[in-house]
Amino acid sequence: MIPCRARADGGTAEWTHAGGAVMTRPTFTCCHCNRVTIVPVAARAEDCGGFCRLCMAPTCSGCADKGCTPFERELERSEAAGRLMASMGL
Ligand SMILES: [Zn+2]
Ligand SMILES: [Zn+2]
């Protein structure tokens, strides 16, 4: 099923099928990798991924088993490592 029109914003994805039927599904953004997941029909958001208790926000299925590694914190960590290396003269 190829949608002829689709958009996803404000936590809701909406698309129109060729037959003219408009579909809307809730979406959520993974708090770790910022990927938007569309919650499938007959599924709950909790079934489509995970929930990080440190971020208090949903994660995608790909991040669900990886613990709390938000990409912002990943960046901070590599920047901190860079500063440490620099301060050691490396
Ligand atoms: Zn993710
Ligand atoms: Zn987290």
Give the tens place of pLDDT for each residue, 21-55.
Answer: 998 888 889 988 888 888 877 776 567 788 888 88
Q: How far is CA 69 from CA 38, 48, 61, 64, 90, in A?
A: 21, 18, 14, 10, 26
Q: How many angstroms does the Cα of residue 57 sit away from the middle of ligand 1?
A: 11
Q: How many angstroms does the Cα of residue 78 sit away from the middle of ligand 2?
A: 17
Ligand nearest to the CA of 63: 1
Q: How many angstroms does the Cα of residue 33 sit away from the middle of ligand 1?
A: 4
Give the tens place of pLDDT for each residue, 61-71.
Answer: 888 888 887 65
- Mean pLDDT score, 73-84: 69
| Per-domain boundaries in the chain | 5-84
- Mean pLDDT score, 78-90: 77
Q: How many angstroms does the Cα of residue 1 sit away from the middle of ligand 1?
A: 25
